[in-house]
Structure 1
Amino acid sequence: MTPAMVLSELRRVGLPALDVSVQPAGKTLVNLDTIFFTEPRPVDVDLTILGQAVEVEATPTTYVWSFGDGTGLTTTTPGAAYPSKDVVHRYSHAGVTVRPAVSVVYGARFRVGGGAWQDVDGTVTIPGPAQGLRVAEAAPVLSGERS
Protein backbone atom coordinates (compact mmCIF):
# COMPACT_ATOMS: atom_id res chain seq x y z
CA MET A 1 0.00 0.00 0.00
CA THR A 2 1.49 3.34 -1.01
CA PRO A 3 0.63 6.87 0.12
CA ALA A 4 -0.17 7.72 -3.51
CA MET A 5 -2.78 4.95 -3.66
CA VAL A 6 -4.42 6.23 -0.47
CA LEU A 7 -4.41 9.82 -1.79
CA SER A 8 -6.00 8.70 -5.04
CA GLU A 9 -8.74 6.81 -3.20
CA LEU A 10 -9.38 9.75 -0.83
CA ARG A 11 -9.81 12.06 -3.81
CA ARG A 12 -12.22 9.56 -5.36
CA VAL A 13 -14.44 9.12 -2.29
CA GLY A 14 -14.15 12.76 -1.18
CA LEU A 15 -14.14 14.45 2.19
CA PRO A 16 -16.66 16.82 3.81
CA ALA A 17 -17.06 20.35 2.48
CA LEU A 18 -17.22 23.17 5.02
CA ASP A 19 -19.83 25.92 5.14
CA VAL A 20 -18.70 29.52 5.34
CA SER A 21 -20.17 31.62 8.16
CA VAL A 22 -20.39 35.39 7.78
CA GLN A 23 -20.92 38.15 10.33
CA PRO A 24 -23.03 40.14 9.88
CA ALA A 25 -25.11 37.36 8.34
CA GLY A 26 -26.93 37.89 5.06
CA LYS A 27 -26.09 41.57 4.64
CA THR A 28 -23.00 43.69 5.22
CA LEU A 29 -21.95 47.26 4.59
CA VAL A 30 -19.47 48.55 2.06
CA ASN A 31 -16.07 49.48 3.62
CA LEU A 32 -16.93 47.62 6.85
CA ASP A 33 -14.97 44.64 8.16
CA THR A 34 -17.00 41.52 7.39
CA ILE A 35 -15.98 38.52 9.49
CA PHE A 36 -15.63 35.03 7.97
CA PHE A 37 -15.16 31.69 9.69
CA THR A 38 -15.87 28.00 9.34
CA GLU A 39 -16.10 25.05 11.72
CA PRO A 40 -13.55 22.38 10.78
CA ARG A 41 -13.44 18.88 12.13
CA PRO A 42 -11.07 15.96 11.65
CA VAL A 43 -12.47 13.10 9.61
CA ASP A 44 -11.91 9.37 10.06
CA VAL A 45 -12.40 7.30 6.91
CA ASP A 46 -12.27 3.52 6.56
CA LEU A 47 -11.26 2.40 3.07
CA THR A 48 -10.61 -0.91 1.39
CA ILE A 49 -7.74 -0.77 -1.06
CA LEU A 50 -6.48 -3.90 -2.80
CA GLY A 51 -8.59 -5.93 -0.38
CA GLN A 52 -6.89 -4.44 2.68
CA ALA A 53 -8.54 -2.38 5.44
CA VAL A 54 -7.07 1.13 5.51
CA GLU A 55 -7.78 3.64 8.29
CA VAL A 56 -7.39 7.28 7.30
CA GLU A 57 -7.36 10.38 9.49
CA ALA A 58 -7.84 13.57 7.48
CA THR A 59 -7.34 16.97 9.13
CA PRO A 60 -8.04 20.44 7.71
CA THR A 61 -4.71 22.26 7.26
CA THR A 62 -5.48 25.23 5.02
CA TYR A 63 -8.50 27.36 4.18
CA VAL A 64 -8.91 29.08 0.82
CA TRP A 65 -11.42 31.93 1.15
CA SER A 66 -13.24 33.32 -1.86
CA PHE A 67 -15.05 36.54 -0.97
CA GLY A 68 -17.21 36.53 -4.09
CA ASP A 69 -15.87 39.79 -5.49
CA GLY A 70 -12.84 38.37 -7.27
CA THR A 71 -10.60 38.49 -4.19
CA GLY A 72 -9.58 35.83 -1.76
CA LEU A 73 -7.25 34.82 1.03
CA THR A 74 -5.48 31.65 2.15
CA THR A 75 -5.07 30.96 5.88
CA THR A 76 -4.03 28.15 8.17
CA THR A 77 -6.77 29.05 10.66
CA PRO A 78 -10.53 28.63 10.22
CA GLY A 79 -11.31 32.13 11.47
CA ALA A 80 -13.61 32.75 14.42
CA ALA A 81 -16.85 34.52 15.28
CA TYR A 82 -17.03 38.09 16.58
CA PRO A 83 -15.27 39.64 18.44
CA SER A 84 -12.39 37.85 16.76
CA LYS A 85 -11.29 39.26 13.45
CA ASP A 86 -9.02 36.45 12.26
CA VAL A 87 -10.45 36.47 8.72
CA VAL A 88 -12.02 39.73 7.54
CA HIS A 89 -12.74 41.39 4.22
CA ARG A 90 -13.96 44.85 3.23
CA TYR A 91 -16.15 45.07 0.15
CA SER A 92 -15.60 48.16 -1.97
CA HIS A 93 -18.79 48.10 -4.08
CA ALA A 94 -22.30 48.50 -2.71
CA GLY A 95 -25.57 47.38 -4.24
CA VAL A 96 -24.33 43.92 -5.16
CA THR A 97 -24.87 40.39 -3.93
CA VAL A 98 -21.67 38.36 -3.63
CA ARG A 99 -21.29 34.62 -3.05
CA PRO A 100 -18.47 33.93 -0.56
CA ALA A 101 -17.24 30.39 0.06
CA VAL A 102 -14.35 28.51 1.64
CA SER A 103 -12.44 25.55 0.26
CA VAL A 104 -10.73 23.30 2.79
CA VAL A 105 -7.42 21.57 2.18
CA TYR A 106 -7.04 18.30 4.06
CA GLY A 107 -3.80 16.60 4.98
CA ALA A 108 -4.00 12.94 5.96
CA ARG A 109 -2.29 9.97 7.48
CA PHE A 110 -3.15 6.29 7.19
CA ARG A 111 -2.44 2.84 8.50
CA VAL A 112 -3.06 -0.62 7.12
CA GLY A 113 -4.43 -3.39 9.32
CA GLY A 114 -3.78 -1.48 12.56
CA GLY A 115 -0.08 -0.99 11.72
CA ALA A 116 2.05 2.14 12.05
CA TRP A 117 0.71 5.49 10.86
CA GLN A 118 2.14 6.91 7.63
CA ASP A 119 1.68 10.37 6.17
CA VAL A 120 -0.14 10.74 2.86
CA ASP A 121 1.96 12.71 0.39
CA GLY A 122 -0.22 15.45 -1.05
CA THR A 123 -3.54 16.98 -0.05
CA VAL A 124 -7.22 16.83 -0.92
CA THR A 125 -9.00 20.14 -1.60
CA ILE A 126 -12.78 20.26 -1.19
CA PRO A 127 -14.69 23.38 -2.28
CA GLY A 128 -17.49 24.50 0.01
CA PRO A 129 -20.89 25.83 -1.00
CA ALA A 130 -21.25 29.56 -1.63
CA GLN A 131 -23.83 31.63 0.20
CA GLY A 132 -25.45 34.91 -0.81
CA LEU A 133 -24.31 38.08 0.93
CA ARG A 134 -25.80 41.47 0.11
CA VAL A 135 -23.38 44.43 0.21
CA ALA A 136 -25.24 47.65 1.03
CA GLU A 137 -24.37 51.26 1.65
CA ALA A 138 -25.46 53.01 4.82
CA ALA A 139 -26.80 56.54 4.59
CA PRO A 140 -25.80 58.87 7.43
CA VAL A 141 -28.72 60.20 9.45
CA LEU A 142 -28.55 62.95 12.06
CA SER A 143 -30.48 62.22 15.19
CA GLY A 144 -30.85 63.56 18.69
CA GLU A 145 -32.28 66.61 20.32
CA ARG A 146 -31.36 70.19 19.57
CA SER A 147 -30.23 72.38 22.40
Structure 2
Amino acid sequence: MQKFTQSVSVLVSTACLMVALQCVPAHAKEPRIDIGYVENGLQLTGTQWTRDPVTGEFIPNVNSSSTAAADPNQYMADTHCRADGPDTKDPGCDALECPATETNTEAGTPVIWKEAPKAITNPGWTDWIPVTGPTCLYDPQPENVLDNIAARILNDFQQLPINPGTLQAQPFPHTLKGAPTNFYTTASEQDFDVSILGQAVHLTATPANYTYAFGDGTSLGPTPAAGYPIPETEWLNTQTRTSHSYTETGNYQATLTTSFTGTYSVNNGPPLPINGTLNLTTPAQTIQVWKTQRALVADTCQENPNSWGCPGAKPK
Protein backbone atom coordinates (compact mmCIF):
# COMPACT_ATOMS: atom_id res chain seq x y z
CA MET A 1 0.00 0.00 0.00
CA GLN A 2 1.34 3.38 -0.96
CA LYS A 3 1.65 5.81 1.94
CA PHE A 4 1.36 9.49 1.24
CA THR A 5 3.07 12.21 3.20
CA GLN A 6 1.67 15.66 3.72
CA SER A 7 3.04 19.05 4.63
CA VAL A 8 1.57 20.78 7.65
CA SER A 9 2.21 24.16 9.22
CA VAL A 10 2.33 24.42 12.95
CA LEU A 11 2.99 27.14 15.45
CA VAL A 12 5.94 26.47 17.70
CA SER A 13 6.28 28.49 20.85
CA THR A 14 9.76 29.71 21.61
CA ALA A 15 11.33 31.18 24.72
CA CYS A 16 9.44 34.03 26.29
CA LEU A 17 10.95 37.48 26.22
CA MET A 18 9.69 40.00 28.74
CA VAL A 19 10.10 43.65 27.82
CA ALA A 20 9.03 46.47 30.12
CA LEU A 21 8.03 49.73 28.52
CA GLN A 22 6.53 52.92 29.85
CA CYS A 23 5.10 55.55 27.57
CA VAL A 24 4.44 59.09 28.71
CA PRO A 25 2.28 60.90 26.14
CA ALA A 26 2.82 64.57 25.49
CA HIS A 27 0.64 67.01 27.36
CA ALA A 28 -0.68 69.62 24.96
CA LYS A 29 -1.13 73.11 26.36
CA GLU A 30 -4.82 73.93 26.30
CA PRO A 31 -6.20 77.39 25.48
CA ARG A 32 -7.09 79.75 28.33
CA ILE A 33 -10.55 80.80 29.47
CA ASP A 34 -11.06 84.32 30.81
CA ILE A 35 -13.76 84.78 33.44
CA GLY A 36 -15.01 88.30 34.14
CA TYR A 37 -18.06 89.96 35.61
CA VAL A 38 -20.83 92.24 34.45
CA GLU A 39 -23.51 94.02 36.39
CA ASN A 40 -26.13 91.62 37.78
CA GLY A 41 -24.34 88.48 36.70
CA LEU A 42 -21.33 86.47 35.61
CA GLN A 43 -19.72 87.16 32.24
CA LEU A 44 -17.70 84.54 30.36
CA THR A 45 -15.52 85.57 27.42
CA GLY A 46 -13.47 83.23 25.28
CA THR A 47 -10.20 84.76 24.10
CA GLN A 48 -9.28 81.50 22.44
CA TRP A 49 -12.65 79.78 22.12
CA THR A 50 -15.73 80.11 19.94
CA ARG A 51 -19.24 78.87 20.68
CA ASP A 52 -20.65 76.56 18.03
CA PRO A 53 -23.97 78.19 16.98
CA VAL A 54 -25.57 74.78 16.37
CA THR A 55 -24.44 72.67 19.34
CA GLY A 56 -23.74 75.46 21.81
CA GLU A 57 -20.36 73.90 22.64
CA PHE A 58 -17.18 75.90 23.08
CA ILE A 59 -14.44 74.91 20.63
CA PRO A 60 -10.82 76.14 20.35
CA ASN A 61 -10.10 78.67 17.62
CA VAL A 62 -7.56 77.73 14.96
CA ASN A 63 -5.64 80.54 13.25
CA SER A 64 -2.62 80.16 11.01
CA SER A 65 -1.05 83.29 12.50
CA SER A 66 -1.35 81.69 15.99
CA THR A 67 -3.52 84.62 17.11
CA ALA A 68 -6.87 83.15 18.11
CA ALA A 69 -10.06 84.90 17.07
CA ALA A 70 -12.25 86.04 19.94
CA ASP A 71 -15.69 84.66 20.65
CA PRO A 72 -18.09 87.42 19.49
CA ASN A 73 -20.52 86.67 22.33
CA GLN A 74 -20.51 87.15 26.09
CA TYR A 75 -22.53 85.15 28.58
CA MET A 76 -24.19 86.05 31.87
CA ALA A 77 -25.89 84.24 34.74
CA ASP A 78 -28.71 86.75 35.28
CA THR A 79 -29.32 87.18 39.00
CA HIS A 80 -32.42 89.33 38.39
CA CYS A 81 -34.30 86.07 38.40
CA ARG A 82 -35.05 85.73 42.12
CA ALA A 83 -37.96 83.91 43.70
CA ASP A 84 -38.19 86.59 46.41
CA GLY A 85 -37.27 89.60 44.27
CA PRO A 86 -39.38 92.23 42.51
CA ASP A 87 -38.04 91.39 39.05
CA THR A 88 -39.69 88.16 37.90
CA LYS A 89 -40.13 88.99 34.24
CA ASP A 90 -38.16 85.90 33.16
CA PRO A 91 -40.45 82.89 32.61
CA GLY A 92 -40.29 80.46 35.50
CA CYS A 93 -38.60 82.82 37.96
CA ASP A 94 -41.53 82.78 40.35
CA ALA A 95 -41.90 79.01 40.03
CA LEU A 96 -38.32 77.90 40.75
CA GLU A 97 -37.34 77.32 44.37
CA CYS A 98 -33.76 76.78 45.52
CA PRO A 99 -34.09 75.50 49.10
CA ALA A 100 -31.14 74.86 51.40
CA THR A 101 -29.58 71.43 51.13
CA GLU A 102 -27.20 69.33 53.20
CA THR A 103 -24.25 70.97 51.50
CA ASN A 104 -25.84 74.44 51.28
CA THR A 105 -27.03 75.97 54.53
CA GLU A 106 -28.51 78.96 52.71
CA ALA A 107 -31.18 79.01 50.03
CA GLY A 108 -29.93 79.38 46.47
CA THR A 109 -30.55 82.05 43.86
CA PRO A 110 -32.44 81.28 40.64
CA VAL A 111 -30.56 82.54 37.57
CA ILE A 112 -31.09 82.44 33.84
CA TRP A 113 -28.17 82.22 31.42
CA LYS A 114 -28.06 85.07 28.89
CA GLU A 115 -25.93 85.92 25.86
CA ALA A 116 -25.17 89.07 23.87
CA PRO A 117 -22.57 90.36 21.37
CA LYS A 118 -19.43 91.59 23.12
CA ALA A 119 -19.09 94.49 20.70
CA ILE A 120 -22.24 96.17 22.02
CA THR A 121 -22.07 98.38 25.12
CA ASN A 122 -24.98 97.80 27.51
CA PRO A 123 -26.43 95.12 25.22
CA GLY A 124 -29.90 93.72 25.25
CA TRP A 125 -29.39 90.25 26.70
CA THR A 126 -31.24 87.26 25.23
CA ASP A 127 -31.73 83.78 26.67
CA TRP A 128 -28.91 81.39 25.93
CA ILE A 129 -30.74 78.85 23.75
CA PRO A 130 -29.30 75.54 25.12
CA VAL A 131 -30.81 76.44 28.53
CA THR A 132 -34.42 77.56 28.34
CA GLY A 133 -35.27 77.99 32.02
CA PRO A 134 -33.86 79.14 35.35
CA THR A 135 -31.34 77.14 37.35
CA CYS A 136 -30.07 77.43 40.92
CA LEU A 137 -26.88 78.98 42.25
CA TYR A 138 -26.30 78.66 45.97
CA ASP A 139 -23.51 81.13 46.65
CA PRO A 140 -24.56 84.66 47.73
CA GLN A 141 -22.14 85.91 45.06
CA PRO A 142 -22.56 83.49 42.14
CA GLU A 143 -19.53 84.84 40.31
CA ASN A 144 -17.27 83.80 43.19
CA VAL A 145 -18.42 80.18 43.36
CA LEU A 146 -18.15 79.77 39.59
CA ASP A 147 -14.67 81.28 39.64
CA ASN A 148 -13.71 78.87 42.42
CA ILE A 149 -15.07 75.93 40.46
CA ALA A 150 -13.08 77.00 37.41
CA ALA A 151 -9.92 77.10 39.53
CA ARG A 152 -10.31 73.52 40.76
CA ILE A 153 -12.15 71.84 37.88
CA LEU A 154 -9.04 70.17 36.38
CA ASN A 155 -8.25 68.43 39.67
CA ASP A 156 -11.86 67.25 40.02
CA PHE A 157 -11.83 66.07 36.40
CA GLN A 158 -8.69 64.02 36.99
CA GLN A 159 -10.32 62.30 39.98
CA LEU A 160 -13.30 61.00 37.99
CA PRO A 161 -13.68 57.20 37.67
CA ILE A 162 -13.20 57.31 33.91
CA ASN A 163 -13.06 53.92 32.21
CA PRO A 164 -9.89 53.76 30.08
CA GLY A 165 -11.36 51.02 27.92
CA THR A 166 -9.39 47.95 26.89
CA LEU A 167 -6.66 47.24 24.38
CA GLN A 168 -7.71 44.66 21.81
CA ALA A 169 -5.46 42.70 19.43
CA GLN A 170 -6.14 40.54 16.38
CA PRO A 171 -5.07 37.75 16.39
CA PHE A 172 -4.95 37.23 20.15
CA PRO A 173 -3.35 35.90 22.30
CA HIS A 174 -1.11 34.31 19.64
CA THR A 175 0.21 36.18 16.65
CA LEU A 176 2.89 35.46 14.06
CA LYS A 177 6.36 36.90 13.74
CA GLY A 178 6.53 39.28 10.77
CA ALA A 179 2.75 39.35 10.28
CA PRO A 180 0.63 42.44 11.09
CA THR A 181 -1.16 42.39 14.44
CA ASN A 182 -4.15 44.72 14.51
CA PHE A 183 -4.58 46.78 17.70
CA TYR A 184 -7.60 48.90 18.66
CA THR A 185 -9.32 50.30 21.74
CA THR A 186 -12.82 50.39 23.24
CA ALA A 187 -12.39 53.79 24.98
CA SER A 188 -15.48 56.01 24.65
CA GLU A 189 -16.94 59.37 25.70
CA GLN A 190 -18.30 59.39 29.27
CA ASP A 191 -20.55 61.76 31.24
CA PHE A 192 -20.59 62.47 34.99
CA ASP A 193 -22.86 64.51 37.26
CA VAL A 194 -21.16 65.66 40.46
CA SER A 195 -21.55 68.33 43.14
CA ILE A 196 -18.72 70.85 43.49
CA LEU A 197 -18.94 73.59 46.10
CA GLY A 198 -22.64 72.88 46.41
CA GLN A 199 -23.29 73.35 42.67
CA ALA A 200 -24.50 70.74 40.19
CA VAL A 201 -21.69 70.20 37.70
CA HIS A 202 -21.91 68.08 34.55
CA LEU A 203 -18.59 66.83 33.14
CA THR A 204 -17.88 65.09 29.86
CA ALA A 205 -14.66 63.15 29.25
CA THR A 206 -13.77 62.57 25.59
CA PRO A 207 -10.92 60.38 24.23
CA ALA A 208 -8.64 62.72 22.25
CA ASN A 209 -5.56 60.70 21.31
CA TYR A 210 -3.91 57.37 21.94
CA THR A 211 -0.39 56.02 22.50
CA TYR A 212 0.13 52.32 21.77
CA ALA A 213 3.08 50.62 23.50
CA PHE A 214 3.68 47.25 21.84
CA GLY A 215 6.04 45.88 24.48
CA ASP A 216 9.02 45.32 22.19
CA GLY A 217 10.49 48.79 22.63
CA THR A 218 8.37 50.41 19.91
CA SER A 219 5.25 52.56 20.18
CA LEU A 220 2.73 54.46 18.07
CA GLY A 221 1.36 57.87 18.96
CA PRO A 222 0.04 60.06 20.27
CA THR A 223 -2.41 59.54 17.43
CA PRO A 224 -6.14 60.24 17.04
CA ALA A 225 -6.59 56.75 15.58
CA ALA A 226 -8.55 54.50 17.94
CA GLY A 227 -8.31 51.57 15.54
CA TYR A 228 -11.09 49.17 14.63
CA PRO A 229 -11.71 45.40 14.44
CA ILE A 230 -11.27 43.57 11.13
CA PRO A 231 -12.67 40.19 9.94
CA GLU A 232 -10.71 37.11 10.95
CA THR A 233 -10.01 36.28 7.32
CA GLU A 234 -7.97 39.51 7.06
CA TRP A 235 -5.91 39.17 10.24
CA LEU A 236 -2.65 38.01 8.68
CA ASN A 237 -2.65 40.09 5.51
CA THR A 238 -4.23 43.47 6.39
CA GLN A 239 -2.17 46.41 7.65
CA THR A 240 -4.27 49.02 9.50
CA ARG A 241 -3.20 52.43 10.84
CA THR A 242 -2.74 50.85 14.27
CA SER A 243 -1.17 47.52 13.24
CA HIS A 244 2.25 46.37 14.41
CA SER A 245 4.57 43.60 13.19
CA TYR A 246 6.84 41.90 15.72
CA THR A 247 10.31 41.01 14.46
CA GLU A 248 11.14 38.45 17.15
CA THR A 249 9.25 35.66 18.87
CA GLY A 250 8.43 35.91 22.55
CA ASN A 251 5.86 37.26 24.99
CA TYR A 252 5.26 41.02 24.98
CA GLN A 253 3.26 43.24 27.36
CA ALA A 254 1.26 45.67 25.19
CA THR A 255 -0.57 48.67 26.70
CA LEU A 256 -2.54 51.67 25.51
CA THR A 257 -2.55 55.16 27.07
CA THR A 258 -5.59 57.29 26.24
CA SER A 259 -5.56 61.06 26.72
CA PHE A 260 -8.99 62.40 27.71
CA THR A 261 -10.05 66.02 27.33
CA GLY A 262 -13.08 67.40 29.13
CA THR A 263 -15.81 70.01 29.33
CA TYR A 264 -17.94 71.08 32.28
CA SER A 265 -21.09 73.09 32.90
CA VAL A 266 -22.43 74.48 36.17
CA ASN A 267 -26.16 74.29 36.87
CA ASN A 268 -26.98 73.71 33.19
CA GLY A 269 -24.82 76.67 32.17
CA PRO A 270 -22.73 76.81 28.99
CA PRO A 271 -20.28 73.90 28.50
CA LEU A 272 -16.72 75.15 29.06
CA PRO A 273 -13.47 73.39 28.16
CA ILE A 274 -11.24 72.06 30.95
CA ASN A 275 -7.71 73.39 30.69
CA GLY A 276 -5.82 70.09 30.89
CA THR A 277 -6.02 66.38 30.14
CA LEU A 278 -6.28 63.05 31.94
CA ASN A 279 -4.04 60.21 30.74
CA LEU A 280 -5.14 56.67 31.55
CA THR A 281 -3.29 53.43 30.71
CA THR A 282 -5.05 50.12 30.16
CA PRO A 283 -3.96 46.90 31.88
CA ALA A 284 -1.26 45.10 29.87
CA GLN A 285 -2.22 42.46 27.34
CA THR A 286 0.24 39.59 26.86
CA ILE A 287 0.93 39.10 23.16
CA GLN A 288 2.54 35.74 22.37
CA VAL A 289 4.50 35.98 19.15
CA TRP A 290 5.11 32.62 17.47
CA LYS A 291 6.77 31.55 14.27
CA THR A 292 5.77 28.97 11.67
CA GLN A 293 7.70 25.86 10.69
CA ARG A 294 7.01 23.35 7.96
CA ALA A 295 7.89 19.68 7.81
CA LEU A 296 6.88 16.53 5.96
CA VAL A 297 5.14 13.99 8.18
CA ALA A 298 4.08 10.42 7.55
CA ASP A 299 0.82 10.47 9.51
CA THR A 300 -2.08 12.78 10.08
CA CYS A 301 -2.94 13.83 13.63
CA GLN A 302 -6.00 11.55 13.46
CA GLU A 303 -3.80 8.59 12.55
CA ASN A 304 -1.04 9.42 15.03
CA PRO A 305 -1.82 12.04 17.70
CA ASN A 306 1.85 12.02 18.71
CA SER A 307 3.02 12.91 15.23
CA TRP A 308 5.20 16.01 14.87
CA GLY A 309 3.20 19.20 14.96
CA CYS A 310 0.04 17.70 16.42
CA PRO A 311 -1.55 19.25 19.51
CA GLY A 312 0.04 17.75 22.63
CA ALA A 313 2.89 16.09 20.73
CA LYS A 314 6.37 16.48 22.18
CA PRO A 315 8.61 18.80 20.18
CA LYS A 316 11.44 17.16 18.28
Correspondence for 2:269 = 115
Instruction: Point out the structure with max Rg over C-alpha.
Output: 2
1:6 aligns with 2:161: no
Structure 2 residue identity aligned to 1:58: A
Q: Percent identity?
A: 28
Q: Give the whole-Å Cα distance in 2 for the aligned partners of 1:3 and 1:90.
A: 45
Q: Map residues 71-90 of structure 1 onto 2, 5 A cutoff.
A: 71-74=218-221, 75-82=223-230, 83=234, 85-90=240-245
TM-score (norm 1): 0.88
TM-aligned CA deviation for residue 99 of structure 1: 1.2
Q: Provide Cα deviations, 1:83-106, integer angstroms capped at 9, x if missing partner.
A: 571201111111x11111111111
Structure 2 residue identity aligned to 1:8: N
Correspondence for 1:27 = 174
Runs of 4 or more off by more than 2 Å in structure 1? 1-4, 140-143
Structure 2 residue identity aligned to 1:119: P
Contact 1:17 1:126 in 2 (8 A): yes
**Higher mean C-alpha displacement, 71-80 vs 132-141:** 132-141
Correspondence for 2:27 = none
Q: Give the whole-Å Cα distance in 2 for the aligned partners of 1:57 and 1:138.
A: 47
Q: Give the whole-Å Cα distance in 2 for the aligned partners of 1:142 and 1:14.
A: 56
Structure 2 residue identity aligned to 1:132: T
Q: Map residues 126-141 of structure 1 onto 2, 5 A cutoff.
A: 126-141=280-295
TM-aligned CA deviation for residue 140 of structure 1: 3.7
TM-aligned CA deviation for residue 142 of structure 1: 6.9
Q: Give the whole-Å Cα distance in 2 for the aligned partners of 1:136 and 1:15.
A: 35
Q: Give the whole-Å Cα distance in 2 for the aligned partners of 1:11 and 1:40.
A: 16
Correspondence for 2:203 = 56
- What number of residue pairs does the alignment pair up? 142
Q: Give the whole-Å Cα distance in 2 for the aligned partners of 1:142 and 1:116.
A: 71
Structure 2 stretches lacking a partner, 5+ long? 1-145, 298-316
Q: Give the whole-Å Cα distance in 2 for the aligned partners of 1:28 and 1:65.
A: 17
- Which structure has more relative contact order (CA 8 Å, sep 6+)? It is 1
Give 2:191's match in structure 1, choosing from 44, 61, 67: 44
Q: 1:109 to 1:99 in 2, by over 3 A?
A: same
Correspondence for 1:125 = 279
1:68 aligns with 2:215: yes
Structural RMSD (CA): 1.8
Contact 2:164 2:187 in 1 (8 A): no
TM-aligned CA deviation for residue 46 of structure 1: 1.3
Q: Give the whole-Å Cα distance in 1 for the aligned partners of 2:285 and 2:243.
A: 16
Structure 1 stretches lacking a partner, 5+ long? none
Correspondence for 1:101 = 255
SS for the counterpart of 1:7 is helix
Structure 1 residue identity aligned to 2:243: V
Contact 2:210 2:226 in 1 (8 A): yes
TM-aligned CA deviation for residue 4 of structure 1: 4.6
